[in-house]
Structures are given as structure tokens and as C-alpha cells.
């Protein structure tokens, strides 16, 4: 089945070889003898592919059951993430503290130059992971707990958005780099999450098409096709209406060419992880994971 090769990223030959040689999956057959894969088969094959992508060798992982595979893949992939995830330093802690102080004093200019300095000092990946993201989260928490007024929170978020835009524009990328479409669904915080994704992708040497929020699936798919994108990344934060969200993402998946990877992250993605994964969406827990994934799609990043 053609569908399966697209979904799993394996060639038809490999599919048959694995079945014949190791009995990796045993799909039903149509009356005429053609393979009919179930959703479980596809999931299993995808897991096997991810395991082999990490360097495992088929003959050794093919005997594992679903849960063991999930564990193995999670471990391998997170080991890889851990290998290059920027560690929180005490410098980062100092930036965080100064940043909070600047926000409390409504000192937008001070905050902006502080954050730009942090970005240059720590490097973009470390700054994003250990300063900007935590700061954003802290704004949100402090606001909910009444330690900051909405005005403070807005000011802080706006400055972070500006700094992210600066980082994104500072390093423009060759026209021939692979493209990724970054999109959101609606709302203002959404857009910040998407900006984080965009900066991360640019840092890995990708060409980024940043589509604002609130776009229907067709528009996103059309943009991806026109830009010849290799991937589409969605930032899902508020699950405004669960049903609609999952449905819309599913629709997008169907509209995209099947060799375009659809990636989702954020709380909204976590919550619906099972359905989304089954629909062929790659769920990522955080930016370091995204970084690793992008690198595996386009190693020549730097």
C-alpha cells in the first residue's frame, strides 16, 4: 500500500523485506493478495523506523513488542536530545532574575537590551531554552498568581516577541535551504510559541515561512506546497475546542503531500497526543527535541 510507505517513510521493498525476513508485521490481505495494513501495523512500523534511524539494527529490535519499542525509542531519542540540550547555567539564572526585575519596573528598553545581550552571550539555542522560555512561563505564572498585573505581563511578552523577531532576522538563510512552514491556530500567546519555533528552525539553518495565526488548514497546505516545504510545524496552546482542534489538524494532514512532515508541539498537542499521533502527526515535547528532529532532516544546518 502506497499510503503506508508515505506514512512510515519506508520504501515498499523494505516493508516487504521486513515482513518476509523478520515477520515485523503480518498485514491482512485483500482477496487478491494485496496487503492491507491496520493502524496498529503503521504505528509499529513507524516505531521500528525510528529505532533504526537511531542506529539500532532491525534484527535486534524487531522482536520487541509495542511498549518496549516505545520505551526504547523514547530513550534513544531523548539521549540524543540530552547530548546537545543546552544546560541551565547560573548565567541564565542571573538573566532571568534581571529580566523579572526589568519587567516589574516596566523597563521595556532595559529588558530588550538585556535579552539581546543574553542571546549573544549564551547563543541562541541556550538563550531560548534557558532564558526566554522560562521567562515567558514565569510571566504567565506571576500574572495568574497576581504577582504581576496584566500590563506587566503584556509588556514582557511584547519585548520577548521583539527579541525573537530580531534573532530571526539577524541570520537570514540561503534561498536553497529546506523550508518549514510555522503556523498557529489563534490567539496572541500562540504566536509567541510559534515565534520560538521559528527562531529554533532558523538557528538550524532552515528557511522559515512564518504564517500568522488563525489560518484554515487549506491556506497552510497551499503555502507549504508553494514553498516546497519539507515540514509544517504547529504550535498548539489553547485547546479552544478539542473537537475542532483535532479535526482541523487531521484535515491539514490530509491536505499536505504525504512526504511533508507535520509537527505539533505545546500543551494542546500533548493533550491529544494519541489521536494526533495516530493521524500521522509528529508530537514533540519541547524545543530541544525539535532541534534534533530538524537536524536529522537537514544535517547541513550549520
- Least CB distance from residue 224 to its own copies, whole Å? 24
Kindly tell me which of 85 and 202 has the beta carbon lying closer to its own copies: 202
Partner touching 12 among DNA, its own copies, none, CB below 5 to 8 Å by kind = DNA
Partner touching 80 among its own copies, DNA, none, CB below 5 to 8 Å by kind = its own copies
Residue of 19, 35, 76, 275 interacting with its own copies (CB under 8 A): 76
Q: Where are the alpha helices (DSSP H) in 204-241?
A: 217-226
Kindly tell me which of 30 and 226 has the beta carbon lying closer to DNA: 30
What does the block give as the cell for 259? Answer: 512526504
Consecutive H or E run containing 233 = strand 231-235
Partner touching 94 among DNA, its own copies, none, CB below 5 to 8 Å by kind = its own copies
DSSP secondary-structure letter at 131?
A: I
* CA–CA distance, 8 with 37 (Å, rounded to integer): 12
Q: Does 226 bind DNA (CB under 7 A)?
A: no
Q: Based on the number of CB atoms within 10 Å of its own CB, is 129 exposed (0-12), middle (13-18) or buried (19 or more)?
A: buried
Q: Does 105 bind its own copies (CB under 8 A)?
A: no
282-284 and 261-265: which strand pairing? parallel
Largest CA distance in the chain: 74
Q: Does 1 bind its own copies (CB under 8 A)?
A: yes
SS percent in the chain: helix, strand, coil, step 5: 65, 10, 25
Residue of 7, 14, 148, 181 interacting with DNA (CB under 7 A): 14
* Contact positions vs DNA (CB under 7 A): 1-2, 11-14, 16-18, 20-21, 30-35, 52, 55, 57-60
Amino acid at each position: 500500500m502506497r499510503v503506508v510507505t508515505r506514512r512510515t517513510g519506508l520504501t515498499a521493498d523494505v516493508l516487504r523485506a521486513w515482513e518476509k525476513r523478520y515477520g515485523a508485521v503480518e498485514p491482512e490481505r485483500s482477496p487478491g493478495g494485496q496487503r492491507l495494513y491496520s493502524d496498529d501495523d503503521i504505528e509499529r512500523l513507524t516505531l521500528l523506523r525510528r529505532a533504526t534511524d537511531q542506529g539500532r539494527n532491525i534484527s535486534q529490535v524487531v522482536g520487541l513488542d509495542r511498549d518496549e519499542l516505545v520505551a526504547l525509542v523514547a530513550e534513544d531519542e531523548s539521549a540524543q536530545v540530552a547530548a546537545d540540550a543546552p544546560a541551565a547555567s547560573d548565567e541564565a539564572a542571573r538573566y532571568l532574575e534581571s529580566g523579572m526585575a526589568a519587567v516589574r519596573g516596566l523597563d521595556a528598553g532595559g529588558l530588550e537590551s538585556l535579552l539581546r545581550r543574553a542571546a549573544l552571550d549564551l547563543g541562541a539555542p541556550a538563550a531560548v531554552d534557558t532564558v526566554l522560555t522560562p521567562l515567558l512561563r514565569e510571566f504567565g505564572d506571576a500574572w495568574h498568581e497576581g504577582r504581576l498585573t496584566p500590563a506587566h505581563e503584556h509588556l514582557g511578552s511584547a519585548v520577548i516577541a521583539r527579541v525573537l523577531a530580531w534573532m530571526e532576522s539577524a541570520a537570514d538563510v540561503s534561498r536553497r535551504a529546506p523550508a518549514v512552514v510555522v503556523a498557529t491556530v489563534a490567539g496572541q500567546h500562540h504566536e509567541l510559541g510559534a515565534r520560538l519555533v521559528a527562531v529554533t528552525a532558523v538557528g538550524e539553518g532552515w528557511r522559515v515561512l512564518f504564517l500568522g495565526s488563525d489560518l484554515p488548514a487549506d491556506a497552510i497546505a497551499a503555502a507549504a506546497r508553494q514553498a516546497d516545504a519539507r515540514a509544517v510545524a504547529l504550535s498548539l496552546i489553547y485547546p479552544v475546542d478539542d473537537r475542532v482542534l483535532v479535526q482541523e489538524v487531521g484535515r491539514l494532514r490530509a491536505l499536505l503531500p504525504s512526504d511533508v512532515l507535520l509537527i505539533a508541539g505545546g500543551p494542546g498537542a500533548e493533550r491529544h497526543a494519541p489521536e494526533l499521533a495516530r493521524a500521522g502527526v509528529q508530537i514533540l515535547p519541547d524545543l530541544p527535541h525539535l532541534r534534533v528532529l530538524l537536524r536529522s532532516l537537514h544535517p547541513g544546518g550549520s
